[in-house]
Amino acid sequence: MIVLAAPGQGSQTPGFLTPWIDDPDSGDEARALLAQLSEASGVDLVAHGTVSDAETIRDTAIAQPLIVAAGLLTARALFQRVSADTVGAVAGHSVGELTAAALAGVISEGDAVSLVTVRAKGMAAAAAETPTGMSAVLGADEAELLAKLDELGLEPANFNGGGQIVVAGALEALAKLADEPPARARVIPLQVAGAFHTRYMGSAIPALREAAAAVQVSDPATPIFTNHDGSRVASGREYLDLLVSQVASPVRWDKTMESFLAAGVTGQIELAPAGALTGLAKRGMKGVPSVAIKTPDDLQAAVDLLQGAAS
């Protein structure tokens, strides 16, 4: 089983869509798709994916639609080369769950981009209410770290597996954690705008829930796994409901990878802007090959992995 994985916020870098738009074989089609998704999102995805600087695309209201659009663009390019039926399952990390929902046929591409726009605006507004941030903690004993978070009023936001947990909350508390980390742990501040996947994002949920209730939803045509607890979800509406509520609850990518392994995963393909989930797979799914599609040059490796699994 090959899993198609869609990354979350923080994976974008300046100019990362330029190779797709400049590609001599499919650049015109890529630009046309981005123009269509720009209209649905109200965000100039071509400009932000090619010429905008790091600070601009760090803005949650820009970053999230950009990441979802990039994943959809990458998947289209991949499925022009190999049948989508060769993919065994899909999953997304955080905002990547909307990309995964579209790829599994739960919602349309247009609705994925419309919903991510509501999500992004709501989370950006929630982040502006109180100065908060996030830090990655590497190598800590989980129980010791969770006890420390309770003491400081911080929350776990992403359980990423392989000894990495992203924590979030007040900036002062994050600074104290960095000064007094758990034994053998490293604390790395992340360049994000707020405490995502924590109680601080609660105000973003109502508008997203209302928008999600208005879109047409189908049960997944391709197996899809949720970040809520790593389980496979058979109901499209349930998947979307979990996606909405998780704006203010932790991402359990560790459990998602455990479910991949239990289901017999033989490879992972990460969609653009790729890299983060491939790194996590190396630690959390040791021995399982993973391909990160960053540019069109990486598509053949993904095709080879899919065709090898199908043969």
What does the pLDDT look like over 90-141, one tens digit per residue?
999 999 999 999 999 999 999 999 999 999 999 999 999 999 999 999 999 9
Same-domain status, 139 and 225: no
Q: Label residue 310 by pLDDT band (50, 70, 90).
A: low
Burial of 221 (0-12, 13-18, 19+ CB in 10 A): middle
Given 171, 189, 207, the domain boundary residue is: 189
Same-domain status, 54 and 145: no
Domain that holds residue 143: 129-189
Same-domain status, 182 and 64: no
Burial of 12 (0-12, 13-18, 19+ CB in 10 A): buried
- What pLDDT is attached to residue 122? 96
Same-domain status, 19 and 136: no
- What pLDDT is attached to residue 11? 82
Q: Label residue 311 by pLDDT band (50, 70, 90).
A: low
Same-domain status, 122 and 134: no
Q: Is 94 a catalytic residue?
A: yes
Q: Label residue 162 by pLDDT band (50, 70, 90).
A: confident
Given 189, 211, 233, the domain boundary residue is: 189
Same-domain status, 112 and 212: yes
- What pLDDT is attached to residue 80? 92
User: Using one digit for the tens of pLDDT, what is the confidence trace for 254-296?
Assistant: 999 999 999 999 999 999 999 999 999 998 999 999 999 999 9
Catalytic residue among 11, 48, 114, 197: 197
Which CATH number goes with the domain that contains 163?
3.30.70.250
pLDDT at 75 over 70: yes
Catalytic residue among 38, 41, 94, 290: 94
CA 159 to mean position of chain CA atoms = 13
Q: Label residue 238 by pLDDT band (50, 70, 90).
A: very high
Given 189, 215, 240, the domain boundary residue is: 189
Q: Which amino acid is at 162?
A: G
Q: Percentage of the chain surpassing pLDDT 90?
A: 88
Same-domain status, 172 and 223: no
pLDDT at 26 over 90: no
CA–CA gap between residue 270 and residue 301 (Å, rounded): 11
- What pLDDT is attached to residue 239? 98
Same-domain status, 244 and 107: yes
Tell me the range of 162-166, 233-237, 284-288 where mean pLDDT is highest.
Answer: 233-237
Which CATH number goes with the domain that contains 67?
3.40.366.10
Look at the chain and report how many structural domains it folds into.
2
- What pLDDT is attached to residue 27? 87
Average pLDDT over residues 231-235: 97
* Complete DSSP assignment for 46-104: HHHHHT--HHHHHSHHHHHHHHHHHHHHHHHHHHTTS-GGG--EEEESTTHHHHHHHHT
- What pLDDT is attached to residue 216? 97
Same-domain status, 203 and 105: yes
Within 10 A of 167 (CB to CB), how many other CB atoms are there?
28
Same-domain status, 116 and 248: yes
CA–CA gap between residue 250 and residue 149 (Å, rounded): 14
pLDDT at 39 over 70: yes
Same-domain status, 206 and 297: yes
Question: Are 104 and 219 contacting, i.e. CB atoms less than 8 angstroms apart?
Answer: no
Same-domain status, 236 and 102: yes
